[in-house]
């Protein structure tokens, strides 16, 4: 009978749709701006899917958790064996995470399932190392704004699939990298990341996202210039709204056309005019609502992981994506990044919208001047 630790960072992901680039130290402000819980509901969705695919076998699991917002608030009815060994009230912090981990370890858990982002992962790994429990396998339910570490499943449902396969003995445990991004520099538009530690996690290329890679290649300047020329010739027109996703490639392309784009935010242009810089979900919807012409959303997938939607661009909410339409999305992929991709991974957080992408099966990407190809869509 597996003993499963469950832990939720209730504030993870709050800043995403507001364009805050992260939630560390931003939870109170995010909630004051109307941000809604993301972490807890996604953990609840994971548990519901786990129960659905496991059937009666799920009743054999013992769940060890925290009472309140870090645990029991998000456990759905029908989970029979739940033991609370920790509790928290009000605003939570890294100290609460550390205390919860200590209590869970005292209860001899076999695996830790947690909901959060890279900051939560860093706190958990620090606590495990301090308590000499680095060999404990973990599965991360992706609920943060940015998730570069390899111990995250690609979606809440994917986390349930990994957990079920691990319990059945179908998955081996391996080490993966925990990546740490400096949020203060990130909010200033600088991408500074380092390998913080290693952690044990079930190995599943199908369901686990893998660690982010920063793809750099020499000799691609002419290709990027060609992509910029193609976009300027075909998309920079007075009636067309262009939404620019995050990433250094898109920023370079924008600069070549004459725009000043942010590296880590969402920007908007109409014709040769830049009408939005580092805009959040509400601002994007306002721009879309006042625009009557064609719309194109340019996105560059995350190197290594392949995520086009669902990592680092939570401003592109289901409401935004529905207004743009699946056919309004154009991927931008340089040859070096193309070598790291098997598919374009999509995780919108909305099952119906994910289904629309699945039905599409392929999305078009621009890889050079007047050179496009299609890549398969992967929705976990």
**DSSP conformational letter for 155:** S
Which positions ≥6 away from 135 have C-beta within 8 Å?
Answer: 200
Residue where the block lists tokens 């973990």: 138
Strand, helix or coil for residue 325 = coil
Please provide residue 156's backbone torsions phi and psi, each rounded to the nearest 5 degrees.
-60, -45
Residues 234 and 197: their CA atoms lie apart, in Å, by 45
The per-residue pLDDT for 195 is: 81
Please provide residue 7's backbone torsions phi and psi, each rounded to the nearest 5 degrees.
-145, 135
Which positions ≥6 away from 373 have C-beta within 8 Å?
Answer: 364, 365, 367
The per-residue pLDDT for 4 is: 97
* Average pLDDT, rounded, for the chain: 88
Residue where the block lists tokens 């994007």: 284
Whether the CB-CB separation of 141 and 114 falls below 8 Å is answered with yes
Whether the CB-CB separation of 196 and 125 falls below 8 Å is answered with yes
Residues 148 and 264: their CA atoms lie apart, in Å, by 14
The per-residue pLDDT for 264 is: 82
Q: How far is CA 266 from the centre of its chain?
A: 16
Residue where the block lists tokens 């308590």: 131
Interhelix angle 156-167/39-54, rounded to 10 degrees, is: 40
pTM, full prediction: 0.77
Q: How far is CA 149 from the centre of its chain?
A: 10
Whether the CB-CB separation of 250 and 332 falls below 8 Å is answered with yes
pLDDT digits (tens, 9 = 90+) for 188-230: 656 666 788 899 999 988 888 776 555 555 468 888 999 999 9
**Structural tokens at position 172:** 């081996």
pLDDT digits (tens, 9 = 90+) for 152-194: 998 999 999 999 999 999 999 999 988 876 656 665 656 666 7
**Structural tokens at position 362:** 């392929």
Kindly give the confidence (pLDDT) of every residue in the chain, 380 residues in length, as a single tens digit, with 9 standing for 90 and above: 899 999 999 988 886 676 665 555 666 666 767 777 889 999 999 999 999 999 888 888 999 999 999 999 999 988 889 999 999 877 788 899 999 999 999 999 999 999 998 889 999 999 999 999 999 999 999 998 777 788 999 899 999 999 999 999 999 999 998 887 665 666 565 666 678 889 999 998 888 877 655 555 546 888 899 999 999 999 999 999 999 998 888 999 999 999 999 988 899 999 999 999 999 999 999 999 999 999 999 999 987 678 899 888 889 999 999 999 999 999 999 888 888 788 999 999 899 999 999 999 999 999 999 899 999 999 97
């Amino acid at each position: 009978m597996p003993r499963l630790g469950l832990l939720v960072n209730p504030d993870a992901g709050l800043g995403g749709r507001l364009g805050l680039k992260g939630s560390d130290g931003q939870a109170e402000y995010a909630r004051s701006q109307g941000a809604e819980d993301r972490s807890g509901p996604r953990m609840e969705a994971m548990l519901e899917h786990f129960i659905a695919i496991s059937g009666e076998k799920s009743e054999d699991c013992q769940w060890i958790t925290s009472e309140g917002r870090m645990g029991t608030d998000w456990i759905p009815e029908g989970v029979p064996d739940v033991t609370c060994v920790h509790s928290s009230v009000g605003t939570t912090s890294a100290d609460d995470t550390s205390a919860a981990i200590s209590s869970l370890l005292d209860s001899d858990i076999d695996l830790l399932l947690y909901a959060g982002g890279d900051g939560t992962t860093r706190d958990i790994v620090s606590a495990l190392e301090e308590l000499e429990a680095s060999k404990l396998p973990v599965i991360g339910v992706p609920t943060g704004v940015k998730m570069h570490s390899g111990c995250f499943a690609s979606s809440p449902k994917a986390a349930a699939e990994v957990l079920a396969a691990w319990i059945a003995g179908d998955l081996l445990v391996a080490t993966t990298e925990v990546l740490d991004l400096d949020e203060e520099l990130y909010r200033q538009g600088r991408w500074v990341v380092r390998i913080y530690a290693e952690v044990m996690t079930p190995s599943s290329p199908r369901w686990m996202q893998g660690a982010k890679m920063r793809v750099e290649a020499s000799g691609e300047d002419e290709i990027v210039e060609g992509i910029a020329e193609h976009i300027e010739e075909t998309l920079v027109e007075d009636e067309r709204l262009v939404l620019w996703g995050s990433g250094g490639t898109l920023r370079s392309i924008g600069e070549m056309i004459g725009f000043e784009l942010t590296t880590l935010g969402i920007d908007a242009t109409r014709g040769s005019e830049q009408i939005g810089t580092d805009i959040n979900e509400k601002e994007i919807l306002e721009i879309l609502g006042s625009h009557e012409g064609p719309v194109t959303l340019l996105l560059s997938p995350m190197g290594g992981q392949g995520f086009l939607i669902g990592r680092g661009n939570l401003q592109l909410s289901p409401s935004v994506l529905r207004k743009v339409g699946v056919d309004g999305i154009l991927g931008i992929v340089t040859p070096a990044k193309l070598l790291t991709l098997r598919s374009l991974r999509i995780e919108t957080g909305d099952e119906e919208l994910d289904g629309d992408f699945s039905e599409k099966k392929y999305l078009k990407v621009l890889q050079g001047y007047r050179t496009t190809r299609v890549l398969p869509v992967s929705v976990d």
